[in-house]
Amino acid sequence: MSELKYPRALVKLSGESLAGDQGFGIAPEVVDRLVLEVETVHDAGVRLGLVVGGGNIVRGTEASERGMDRVSADYMGMLATVINALALQDALERHGVESRVMSAIRMEQLAEPYIRRRALRHLEKGRVVIFAGGTGNPYFSTDTAAVLRAIEMNADVILKATKVDGVYSSDPVHNPDAEFLPDLTFREVINKELGVMDAAAVSLCRDNALPVIILNIRRSGAILGALRGERIGTLVT
């Protein structure tokens, strides 16, 4: 078995990745497929954290743009991430992978409150920790929440799972001539407005020397390959 280059990692999943082709809600077969990838990574000995967005249920920014109070809309988005986290936990447990959902918003009947030392203890015991509820504060994206949790759990890398193979000079879905960019610096991401993550998340990564790998979650084995140091996706340092 190949040695791990990044033995402790956080994977950021979009809420849309749980919806599959239906575009909304949760598709159980898609969640099972994602969990098989997570199971493979876990079985390789990676100490793993997950952060999932809520865009398959509600996006706070979009709701606020349509007239809803921004704070209320953002809290709705945070609750959506808890729904997705519970779906992931259910699938992980069915696959025999012990996991814990930790929420930044207290709801003890559903999830443990996020306490950093407790999260680190879960990781040390080999459990997959699913961080839900964003940062617990409005105006912060789940990208920022993912980076914050990755730093707090002493992760070696953050993997952003997308539906494309990495970062391109423009949207490859609409531009077949878009150039693939295998290596980037945080400064280039910010200056070129490449949309890898929001500026706050990118700045946090840069200030804490936390590398980011953007890869295609639909490619089987991509996450484990990246954690073993294979050239998969786009590396941002």
- Is residue 1 one of the residues assigned to a domain? no
Would you state the pLDDT for residue 61? 82
67 versus 121: the higher-pLDDT residue is: 121
The token duo for 158 is 């953050």
Q: Taking the chain, what is the end-to-end CA distance rounded to the nearest angstrom?
A: 27
* Rounded-to-10 torsion of CA 231, 202, 168, 214: 40
Structure tokens at 88: 């992931």
Q: Which residue has the tokens 């949309």?
A: 195
Q: How many CB atoms lie within 10 A of CB 28?
A: 12
Is position 152 within any domain? yes
* Domain annotation covers residue 28: yes
What is the spatial distance between Cα 182 and Cα 152, in angstroms, rounded to a whole number? 27
CATH of the domain at 122: 3.40.1160.10
The whole-angstrom separation of Cα 46 and Cα 227 is 8
More confident residue, 20 or 150: 150
Task: Give φ, ψ of 48 to 5 degrees.
Answer: -125, 135
**What's the whole-number mean pLDDT along residues 139-164?**
96
Number of residues that this document lists for the chain = 237
Provide the domain count of the chain.
1
Instruction: For the chain, give the percent of residues with pLDDT over 70.
Output: 99
- Host domain of residue 54: 8-236
Q: Does residue 20 form part of some domain?
A: yes
Closest CA to 58 of 28, 44, 78, 43: 78
User: Is residue 27 in some structural domain?
Assistant: yes
pLDDT at 195: 86
In a domain, 146, yes or no: yes
Would 2 be classed as within a structural domain? no
Which residues in 59-127 belong to E strands, given as ranges? Answer: 99-103, 112-113
pLDDT > 70? residue 1: no
Q: What is the pTM of this model?
A: 0.95
3 is a domain residue:
no
Q: What is the mean pLDDT of the chain?
A: 95
